[in-house]
């Protein structure tokens, strides 16, 4: 059996960072286990997200349990499965969240997680190429982040329209204030996706003290009493074990981290016993506190020609887009998933925005192998509350590590989430009908002019919405009875075991979750190294 100082399970947004920082000291022998392959050709090109969303090689392709809020639909839960994890298949938008998100975590008792505490890690991780204020932005980190300019006529018109309904242009929503409309900052540079595989692992592949094993499914962590001693994993059907002299860090993401704890006998006693899993440590919060953004995509027909990819990327237009990407890195192939986004307040008097709107310059349909461009010209605008209060759960349904856990979101169970979802759609309507867009001859397709009351709007939401793929919270950080890890990300009651990924977030950050997951990886590594010193 091989012995390492540290074993990191999962090479995603957070895990790749942890492995990089721990192995920077040549005295630390580190094993990084990743269930998926090393790479995929579509993971380099930004538009590859549309190809990987349905790809079984690079994506776990989970689905959620049908529920009333989805009108009985089993909505998709894509998760990256390769080096870089979900940062290798995601929509590339770079959003930190608000200072208040982290201050809230701190106020919940998590010492060291206020915005002042985490800002140095957000700065350390990035090389921001978009100008802005050095008080907030980093220039020398591994992750390249860019900020496109609103030079295309559609984005420029959306920003003007937002201004007409009181939403100001804020070029750096990751700076002093999040509020306003802006072009999406992106983990795209030199025409390519900047995943954590690309930025944190590629440059250090030759470190002799870092051993990366791909296609390695970790089945359980090994325990000696209440101490974690290593992991059991399978590669190509062969089961192996590795020993951790110091610590195991689980970074398998919000679905698989709680799954791995439960498979290891750490979780709700009754549930595990019922599945024949030997209970090693009772911890009732494992798999609970699941939160995600339930995000309806409103659809708009555009009468004027030439503004959306439905007009400019079909047939010969697609060849033009390929050439444009080859020469400038721009256009459909080089785009971030929602190039324009707005952070807005649902009502006056709020301290900070609570709603997110994101515009995609096309209409798409479900094709057999993923999204395809619709024949109609138009655009999509998703609109949703940023800090939902509805909570669901994720639990194993079998002791078989190859079986997907049951994912229950329980969306809209909090009345405030329903109210804010309807409000977000009304704000999207106000932007889309502002005078600055009149020349586009905009017509609402969905939810449609007939959806007037909140009930009618929410009826459509239940039939049509999907998530924006931001599950968090299932190994919550905290000190209450339902917390799974403490503020140093150590699993309560177990020595030598931490969780470091999106699952530790006690609440959902205000926006997309890649940037905060990478920050969590940075901070986790810092704490592991300091605790070992
Ligand atoms: C389709 C999609 C679009 C998204 N768009 C955006 C966006 O535009 N902007 C944004 O900020 N966020 C976006 N997100 C969300 C963001 O990417 C995630 O929140 C973030 O990557 C989560 O990081 P993580 O480290 O928690 O998990 P992940 O990055 O998912 O990493 C977990 C890793 O662990 C591996 N793993 C799991 N189980 C095991 C096991 N048993 N053994 C070994 N390895 C295992 C997985 O294969 C994976 O590589 C998107 C996500 C998806 C899926």
Q: Residue 307: which residues within 8 A CB-CB, separation 6 or more?
A: 153, 154, 361, 377, 440
C-beta of 477 in contact with ligand 1 (< 6 A): no
Which atom of ligand 1 is closest in space to residue 15's alpha carbon? Answer: 25
Q: What is the pLDDT of residue 252?
A: 99
Which atom of ligand 1 is closest in space to residue 511's alpha carbon? Answer: 11
Please write the tens of the pLDDT for every residue from 401-444: 999 999 999 999 999 999 999 999 999 999 999 999 999 999 99
Which helix H or strand E contains 403, and what residues bound it? none
Q: Residue 92: which residues within 8 A CB-CB, separation 6 or more?
A: 46, 49, 184, 186, 187, 188, 193, 194, 336, 337
Q: What is the pLDDT of residue 292?
A: 98
C-beta of 469 in contact with ligand 1 (< 6 A): yes
Q: Hey, what domains does the chain have and what are their CATH numbers? A: 1-55+78-147+192-293+470-533 (3.50.50.60), 149-183+294-385+414-464 (3.30.410.40)
Q: What is the pLDDT of residue 377?
A: 96
The pLDDT-based confidence of 371 (bands split at 50, 70, 90) is: confident
C-beta of 79 in contact with ligand 1 (< 6 A): yes
Find out whether 265 and 281 touch, Cβ atoms under 8 Å.
yes
Which atom of ligand 1 is closest in space to residue 33's alpha carbon? Answer: 43
C-beta of 95 in contact with ligand 1 (< 6 A): yes
Please write the tens of the pLDDT for every residue from 202-261: 999 999 999 999 999 999 999 999 999 999 999 999 999 999 999 999 999 999 999 999
Please provide the average confidence, as pLDDT, over all residues in the chain.
97
For 59-122, give the secondary structure using H, E and C: ECCEECCCCHHHCCCCCEECCECCCCHHHHCCCCECCCCCHHHHHHHHHCCCCCCCHHHHHHHH
C-beta of 470 in contact with ligand 1 (< 6 A): yes
In a mutational test of the pocket of ligand 1, which residue from 90, 178, 186 has the highest number of ligand atoms less than 8 Å from its CB?
90
C-beta of 43 in contact with ligand 1 (< 6 A): no
Q: What stretches of 170-304 adopt beta strand conformation (E)?
A: 180-183, 188-189, 192-193, 210-213, 216-224, 227-235, 238-250, 266-267, 281-282, 294-295, 297-302
pTM above 0.75? yes
- The residue with greater pLDDT, 237 or 524, is 524
The pLDDT-based confidence of 272 (bands split at 50, 70, 90) is: very high
Q: What is the pLDDT of residue 530?
A: 98
CA 423 to chain centre: 24
Please write the tens of the pLDDT for every residue from 113-171: 999 999 999 999 999 999 889 999 999 999 999 998 878 999 999 999 999 999 999 98
* CB atoms near residue 147 (< 10 Å): 20
Please tell me the distance between residue 9's alpha carbon and the centre of ligand 1 in angstroms: 13
With 90 as the cut, is the pLDDT of residue 105 above it?
A: yes
User: What would you report as the CA-atom Rg of the chain, rounded to the nearest whole angstrom?
Assistant: 22
In a mutational test of the pocket of ligand 1, which residue from 38, 53, 86, 173 has the highest number of ligand atoms less than 8 Å from its CB?
86
Q: What is the pLDDT of residue 131?
A: 86
Please tell me the distance between residue 336's alpha carbon and the centre of ligand 1 in angstroms: 17
Q: What is the pLDDT of residue 20?
A: 98
With 90 as the cut, is the pLDDT of residue 398 above it?
A: yes
The pLDDT-based confidence of 367 (bands split at 50, 70, 90) is: confident
């Amino acid at each position: 059996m091989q012995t390492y100082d540290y074993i990191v399970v999962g090479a995603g947004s957070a895990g790749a960072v942890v492995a990089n920082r721990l192995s920077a000291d040549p005295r630390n022998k580190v094993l990084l286990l990743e269930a998926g392959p090393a790479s995929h050709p579509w993971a380099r090109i930004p538009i590859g997200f549309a190809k990987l969303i349905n790809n079984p090689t690079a994506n776990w392709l989970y689905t959620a349990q049908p529920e009333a809020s989805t009108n009985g639909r089993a909505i998709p839960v894509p998760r990256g499965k390769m080096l870089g994890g979900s940062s290798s298949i995601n929509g590339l938008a770079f959003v930190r969240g608000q200072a208040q998100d982290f201050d809230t975590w701190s106020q919940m008792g998590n010492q060291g997680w206020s915005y002042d505490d985490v800002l140095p890690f957000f700065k350390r991780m990035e090389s921001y190429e978009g100008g802005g204020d050095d008080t907030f932005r980093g220039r020398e980190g591994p992750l390249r982040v860019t900020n496109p300019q609103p030079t295309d006529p559609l984005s420029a018109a959306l920003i003007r329209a937002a201004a007409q309904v009181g939403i100001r242009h804020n070029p750096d929503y990751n700076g002093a204030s999040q509020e306003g409309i802006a072009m999406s900052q992106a983990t795209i540079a030199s025409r390519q996706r900047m995943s954590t595989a690309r930025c944190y692992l590629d440059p250090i592949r030759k470190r002799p003290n870092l051993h990366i094993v791909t296609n390695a499914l970790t089945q359980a962590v090994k325990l000696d009493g209440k101490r974690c001693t290593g992991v059991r994993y399978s590669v190509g059907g062969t089961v192996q074990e590795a020993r951790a002299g110091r610590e195991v860090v689980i970074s398998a993401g919000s679905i698989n981290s709680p799954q791995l704890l439960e498979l290891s006998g750490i979780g709700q006693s009754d549930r595990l016993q019922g599945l024949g899993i030997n209970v090693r440590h009772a911890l009732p919060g494992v798999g609970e506190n699941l939160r995600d953004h339930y995000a309806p995509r409103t659809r708009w027909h555009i009468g004027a020609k030439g503004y959306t990819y439905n007009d400019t990327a079909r047939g010969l237009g697609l060849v033009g887009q390929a050439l444009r990407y080859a020469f400038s890195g721009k256009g459909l192939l080089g785009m971030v998933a929602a190039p324009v986004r707005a952070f807005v307040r649902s009502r006056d008097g709020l301290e900070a925005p609570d709603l997110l709107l994101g515009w995609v310059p096309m209409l798409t349909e479900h094709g057999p192998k993923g999204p395809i461009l619709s024949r109609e010209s138009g655009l999509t605008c998703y609109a949703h509350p940023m800090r939902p209060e509805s909570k669901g759960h994720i639990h194993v349904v079998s002791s078989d590590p190859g079986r997907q856990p049951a994912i229950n979101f329980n969306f809209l169970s909090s009345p405030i989430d329903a109210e804010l979802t309807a409000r977000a759609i009304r704000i999207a309507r106000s932007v889309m009908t502002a005078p600055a867009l009149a020349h586009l001859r905009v017509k609402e397709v969905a939810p449609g002019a007939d959806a007037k009351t909140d009930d009618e709007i929410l009826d459509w939401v239940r039939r049509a919405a999907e998530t924006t793929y931001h599950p968090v919270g299932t190994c919550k950080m905290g000190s209450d009875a339902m917390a799974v890890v403490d503020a140093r990300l150590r699993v309560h009651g177990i020595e030598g075991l931490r969780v470091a990924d999106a699952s530790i977030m006690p609440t959902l950050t205000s926006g997309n979750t890649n940037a905060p997951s990478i920050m969590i990886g940075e901070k986790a590594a810092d704490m592991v190294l300091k605790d070992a010193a």
